[in-house]
Amino acid sequence: MGVTDHRHLYVTWRQPNGQIVPVGRLTQLPGSHRRVSYEFAYLKVAERSEGFELLPGFPERYESARLFPLFANRQMPQERPDYDAFVRSLHLDAAADPFMVLERSEGMRATDRIEVFAAPTRTPDDHPSASSLSVAYDTLLGTTTQFPGWSRMKSYS
C-alpha cells in the first residue's frame, strides 16, 4: 500500500429475501511507520433499507488503530493448521495483510447476513479486477462500471 492509498471494502447486508444491500464502507487508511488505521461509515442507502439495524458497535462513523472486531472476527485465525491452505485458496500467501484476506474471503459467516467486498479496480496490466459482489454492488446502485476487457475480469470469490 502506497503512502496515499486508501483501500475500501463495501459492507453489505443480505435481506431475508436474499437481496444484497450495500450499507457501509470500511476503509484502511495509510499511516506513518507502516501503521494503518481503519474507518467505518454507513452509506446513505442504509437509512432507506427496511429491516436493517445499525451494526453492533457502530453508531455512525467510527475510527480505530486496529481492525474492528466485527470485521477481524470474520477471518480465520492464523494459528489454525489449515490457515496456509485457506489463504492460498484466495491466491495469497500466509503473510498477507488481514485487510486483503478479508477482501478476498468476502467476510462471510453463517451466523449473520453481513458480507464485504472490494470496489472494482484495475490490475497493473489495465484489466478490471473485482470480487463477484462488486458487480452486484453496481447492479444494486443502478450503475454499471464499464471497463475495456470486462469479460477478462479476475474474480477471487
Q: Which pLDDT score, from 0 to 100, does residue 32 have?
A: 63
113: in domain:
yes
Query: Where does the pLDDT of residue 84 fall: very low under 50, low under 70, confident under 90, or very high at 90 and above?
Result: very high
Query: What domain count does the chain have?
Result: 1
Query: Where does the pLDDT of residue 130 fall: very low under 50, low under 70, confident under 90, or very high at 90 and above?
Result: low
Task: Spell out where 15-131 has E strands.
Answer: 20-30, 36-42, 61-64, 114-118, 121-122, 128-129
Q: Which pLDDT score, from 0 to 100, does residue 128 have?
A: 64
Q: Which pLDDT score, from 0 to 100, does residue 27 have?
A: 92
143: in domain:
no
What secondary structure letter does DSSP report for 55? P
137: in domain:
no
Mean pLDDT of the chain: 77
- 12 or 4, which is more confident: 12
Structural domain range at position 71: 7-119
pTM recorded for the entire structure: 0.71
Residue 120 has pLDDT above 90, yes or no: no
50: in domain:
yes
82: in domain:
yes
What secondary structure letter does DSSP report for 87? H
145: in domain:
no
Mean pLDDT of 37-66: 86
Give the length of the chain. 157
128: in domain:
no
Q: Which residue carries 427496511 as its cell?
A: 50
152: in domain:
no
Q: Which pLDDT score, from 0 to 100, does residue 139 have?
A: 45
